[in-house]
Amino acid sequence: MSRPQRGPRSAWKRAAALLALLALLAAFPAPPAPAPALAALADGTPQAAVDRSEAPPGGQVTVTGRGWPAGALLTLLVCGQNMAGGTNDCANAEGRAVTTGADGAFRKDVPVPAPPKPCPCVVHVATVTGDSATADVPLVVTGHPVAPLPERSGGERLGVLDARLEGADGLLTWFGAPPTRRLVVTVANLGSTPARNPTFRLGTSRGVLAPVWEDRPWHGTVAPGRKERVTLDVELAAGAYGDYLVSLEYGGKVLVEQPWDVSRPWGVTLFWILLGVVVPLAVFRAGMAVVDRVRPRAPRTPAKTPTPAPGDAAPLPWFTPGTDPRGTRSPPPG
């Protein structure tokens, strides 16, 4: 059975129906899609937007927002460096404040100053009262300097794999010179970003006393998943002795603690003992010499010849060999 052919009248009817449908669609246009910056996210994160992407210093932009807490007080600041350094990067004196409506929306005109830091710049919106919430909207400040963003720190996470104190006391230390050691640690980066030129804190403490800390920068880079050997010099005060503890801290966390038994400087003790013995002895001898010189001397009297008693033999006079004391000459020996 053959299909009947349609005439020109049927074609005109189809064309007229199509034109009527197009006219109906034109009479009721589809609503425009909301701007992405103003579209509320599924998790209810507050949003903000500016009416233009670039403005010169001294100009003005209109900031709008949705999804903020109802009746919350907000601050609006123009900041440089994507506000990486906090409000120090913002033109705080030219900031503005606004209160959100019952629906959590706001609209505010904000002047565009030259921020204290170079661009990339943002309009920073933050709550002052109520729940904490922030949003940053990029803004190009015409003619303002542009610089690379500072590298973010904190992604590195250093841990100690091995630690030891190296060195020994010398002769001068035995006589009170400052004791010295080298703290050798093997650190590993367990984070996701490299640790470039990390600054450690080295502390020394004795007994239950609190450590005395000092910053010790280390020049080098610890890549993620790698380990490096770090050597730091440790020195105590002159004459120190006893049980000490050497601590190493990074990022507010104590990485390692090493005990250090410092020997007493016996040379100093021996010196004081000798000083306590030798000095009094020298003073005593000097004093005795002075006393011996200044004391009065007794006068010397001539010695008297004792008178011989009766019956005592007279002493023999002096005579030379070969001479008889009686005046005769003795014969020479045979």
Instruction: Give pLDDT tens digits for 40-52.
Output: 333 468 999 999 9
Q: CATH for 47-141?
A: 2.60.40.230
How far apart CA 108 and CA 27 sit, in angstroms, is: 35
Higher pLDDT, 170 or 331: 170
The two domains 47-141 and 158-266 share their CATH topology (first three levels equal): yes
Domain limits, the chain: 47-141, 158-266
Phi, psi (rounded to 5 degrees) for 141: -95, 110
For residue 79, pLDDT over 70 is answered with: yes
Which tens digits make up the pLDDT trace of 233-271?
Answer: 999 988 888 899 999 999 888 898 999 988 887 776 777
In order of 100, 186, 216, 223, the CA distances from 256 in angstroms are: 51, 11, 15, 20
Q: CATH for 158-266?
A: 2.60.40.10
Which tens digits make up the pLDDT trace of 130-170?
Answer: 777 889 999 999 999 999 877 655 567 888 888 999 988 87
pTM above threshold 0.75: no
- Look up residue 12 and give its amino acid: W
Tokens of 63: 């900031």
Q: pLDDT tier at 274 (50, 70, 90 boundaries)? A: confident
In order of 70, 91, 128, 135, 267, the CA distances from 94 in angstroms are: 25, 6, 17, 18, 69
Q: pLDDT tier at 86 (50, 70, 90 boundaries)? A: confident
How far apart CA 295 and CA 155 sit, in angstroms, is: 88
User: How high is the pLDDT of residue 171?
Assistant: 81
For residue 11, pLDDT over 90 is answered with: no
Q: What does the DSSP 8-state code read for residue 86?
A: G
Q: What Rg value do the Cα atoms of the chain yield, rounded?
A: 53
The distance of Cα 101 from the centroid of its chain, to the nearest Å, equals 46
For residue 78, pLDDT over 90 is answered with: yes
Q: Are strands 121-127 and 134-141 parallel, antiparallel or unpaired?
A: antiparallel
